[in-house]
Amino acid sequence: MSVIEKLVVERIEKEVIEAFSFCDLPLTTGEIDPSKEEKFGDYQCNLAMKLSKELKKAPREIALMAADALSKSELLEKVEVAGPGFLNLYLKKDVVEEWLVGAFESEDLLVPKVSPEKVIVEFSSPNIAKSMHVGHLRSTIIGDAIARLMEFLGYDVLRLNHVGDFGTQFGMLISYLKKYHPEALKDGNDCDLETLVGWYKAAKKKFDEDDEFKTISREEVVALQSGEEKSVEAWKALCSISRKGFHEIYDLLDVHIEERGESFYNPILQKVVDDFKEKGLSKEDGGAQCVFMEGFQNKDGDILPLIIQKSDGGFNYATTDLAAFHYRVEEDKAKRIVVVTDLGQKMHFSMVYAAAKLVGYMDDTKTRFDHVPFGLVLSPDGKKYKTRSGETEKLSDLLEEAVDRAKSLLDARGIEDNEDIAKVLGISAVKYADLSSNRIKDYTFSYDRMLRFEGNTAAFILYAFVRIQSIKRKAGVDLESVTENIILEHPSERALALHLMRFGEILHKMKEDLLPNHLTEYLYHLAEKFNLFFRDCPVIDSPNMHSRLKLADLAGRHLEKGLSILGIGTIDRM
C-alpha cells in the first residue's frame, strides 16, 4: 500500500538509518520511539545497543558515531548520547512549525492516506430472534471505530453485519408461531424483538418437551431450506422484527452497517464441502465431513476436527465462514478482512482461517485477515454483566440509563436545555469506556466511572474541546484570515504541538494492531497537554494571541477528528 504523504517520524527514521550506514547492516524496521519523558528529547533510538553484539563494539561508541553523522541532520536540532548508548533526538523548532502550517491548512490534519483498497470490517452480528447482548454492543462499538479509522485513512470500506439468520432453530420458532401467534408471521406486523425473544424461549421449551412438536419443527426446517414460499415468508417476518430491534440500537449509537447474514452464503455451502472433498482435504468421521489440521490438538495431542458438514447432511457455522472467506476474496475483492467477535470465538477463527488457506480460498500474501477478539463485560462486582432487568437484557435500556445519568450530572452543573448534550455525553461515555480499555481484557462496566469528568473519560476530553470553542468565541477572530503562523515559544506550546504532530503516527499504528485504546490514550494526553498550555500561556490579549488561537484551534480539530474516529460526537458547552 502506498503512503502518499510521509509521517515526520518516518522522515526522522530515514535520517537515523542513514546515520547508522557505517555499520553495513541492513536496517529497515521502526527503531524510533517517542521519548517517555521530555528530558530524554522528543524521540529516542536504541539501535546502538541492539547492534553492539554484532559489531563487537561498545554501544556508546556506536551511538557517538551515529550522533556525529546526525549533526548534519535537516530535522534534528540536537542529538544526545545518553546512558549506555541511547540516542535522544530533539526536533528543530522550524520543522515542527512548518508541520503546523501544513496541518492548519490541511482538512485531514496531514495524516498520510493510503491507496483505496477494499477492506471488509465485519462487526456487531447479533442473532435473529435473540436479544442483542452486551457482547454485541462491544463488537458494534469496536467494529464501528475500526471501520471509521479505515475510512478516514482512505480505504474502500465495506461494513458487514453477519447476523445469525440461519439454522435449525428457525423451524422450531416458525412452527411455534404458526400455531400460537400466526399474526407475527405476517408482513407489517407490529411485534417487537423482546416479545419475539420470549416466544423463542417458549418454542425451545416446547421443542425439548414435546416429541410431536419436534417432528413438525424438523419438517418446517426442510420446508424452509427447500424454499417453500410460506416458510420463507415467515422467516422473513422474523428477520424484519429482529432488524427493527437491532436498528433501534444502531440509531442510538449512530452506527451504519450493511446486513449480510449467514443465509446469504447458502448457495455456495455445498461447493465449499465439494472443494474440500475433491482436494482430499476432508475426511468422513462418524458420518460428518471433517478437516483435520496440524496445530489444532486437544490436551491429549489428538487433532481436533473442523466439522464442515454434519452427519445429517446439514452445514454449520464453520461452513458459512469458509464460504464467507471465499466470497469476500473472489467477489468483494477484499485486500483485508477484519472480523470483530468475542474472545470465545478465537479458536473457531484460527481453524476456519487455516482451513481457508488450505483449500486456497485465502492467500495471506494477497489478503490479510485479522480476527479482532475482545473480552467479557463485567459488572463492578466482577460477575458477568447483566442489565437491571436481568435475564432479558435490553441494550436500549442500558444506553438510555447512561443518557439519563449524564443529564442529572449536567443538571447538577446548572446547564440548562441539556437534552442534546446529555445524549452525546451519555452515549460517548459508554463508547469511550469500552474503547479505552485494552479490548482483549475483560472490561468492567460502571456508569459512575465512565461518567467522571476527570481522568481518561469522554467527559474530560469533551470538556477540553468545549474550552477551546469558548476561547475562540471570546476572541472572535476569523482564523482563516490570520496570516501569522504558529510560533512556539513556551515549552507547553512546544509539547502540545509535538503531540499534535503524532496524530498520524497513532492512527497508522492503530490500523496495524486494531487497538482503539491507542487513540483514546492519545486524546487523553492531548486534552491534558492542551490544559497545561492553557494554564501556562494566556491567549486573549496576549501579543501571541493569533498564534495561540491557531494552536488551540488545531488542538480542537485534532480532538474532534479523533473522537469522530471513535464514533463520538462533540458538543460546544457543558
Closer to ligand ARG by Cβ: residue 137 or 526: 137
CA nearest to 265, candidates 336, 322, 192, 189? 322
Closer to ligand ARG by Cβ: residue 133 or 550: 133
Closer to ligand ARG by Cβ: residue 92 or 386: 386
Closer to ligand ARG by Cβ: residue 162 or 502: 162
Q: How far apart are CA 265 and CA 280, in angstroms?
A: 23
CB of 186 to ligand ARG, least distance (A): 26
Closer to ligand ARG by Cβ: residue 323 or 498: 323
Q: What is the DSSP letter of 113?
A: P
Closer to ligand ARG by Cβ: residue 41 or 126: 126
CB of 122 to ligand ARG, least distance (A): 6
| Integer angstrom CA distances of residue 74 from 13, 71, 90, 94, 289 | 12, 9, 12, 10, 63
Q: How far apart are CA 180 and CA 426, in angstroms?
A: 40
| Integer angstrom CA distances of residue 262 from 221, 317, 411 | 16, 8, 46
Closer to ligand ARG by Cβ: residue 166 or 530: 166
CB of 123 to ligand ARG, least distance (A): 9
Q: How far apart are CA 330 and CA 216, in angstroms?
A: 39
CB of 202 to ligand ARG, least distance (A): 21
CB of 107 to ligand ARG, least distance (A): 35
Q: How far apart are CA 316 and CA 300, in angstroms?
A: 26
Across the strands, what pairs with 305?
A: 292
Task: Write phi, then psi, for 368 (nearest 5 degrees).
Answer: -95, 135
CB of 129 to ligand ARG, least distance (A): 12
Closer to ligand ARG by Cβ: residue 165 or 553: 165
Task: Write phi, then psi, for 333 (nearest 5 degrees).
Answer: 60, 40
Residue with cell 512549525: 97
Helix (H) or strand (E) holding 429: helix 419-436
Question: Can you give the binding site for ligand ARG, defined by CB under 6 A?
Answer: 122, 125-127, 162, 164, 321, 324, 339, 341
Task: Write phi, then psi, for 14 (nearest 5 degrees).
Answer: -60, -45
Closer to ligand ARG by Cβ: residue 125 or 140: 125
> What strand order describes the sheet that includes 288-297?
283-285, 288-297, 303-309
Neighbours of 372 (CB within 10 A): 22
Q: What is the DSSP letter of 437?
A: S
CB of 318 to ligand ARG, least distance (A): 9
Closer to ligand ARG by Cβ: residue 18 or 259: 259
Residues 6+ apart with CB under 8 A from 63: 48, 81, 85, 86, 87
Position 412, amino acid? A
| SS3 category, 261 | coil
Burial of 158 (0-12, 13-18, 19+ CB in 10 A): buried
CB of 127 to ligand ARG, least distance (A): 5
Nine cell digits for residue 40: 530524554
Position 489, amino acid? E
Closer to ligand ARG by Cβ: residue 44 or 131: 131
CB of 530 to ligand ARG, least distance (A): 39
Closer to ligand ARG by Cβ: residue 41 or 167: 167
CB of 347 to ligand ARG, least distance (A): 12
Burial of 267 (0-12, 13-18, 19+ CB in 10 A): exposed
CB of 436 to ligand ARG, least distance (A): 24
CB of 40 to ligand ARG, least distance (A): 44
Residue with cell 546515520: 19
CB of 317 to ligand ARG, least distance (A): 6
Angle value at C-alpha 304, between 298 and 309, nearest 5 degrees: 155
Does residue 488 contact residue 533 with C-beta atoms inside 8 Å? no
Closer to ligand ARG by Cβ: residue 48 or 322: 322
Neighbours of 533 (CB within 10 A): 23
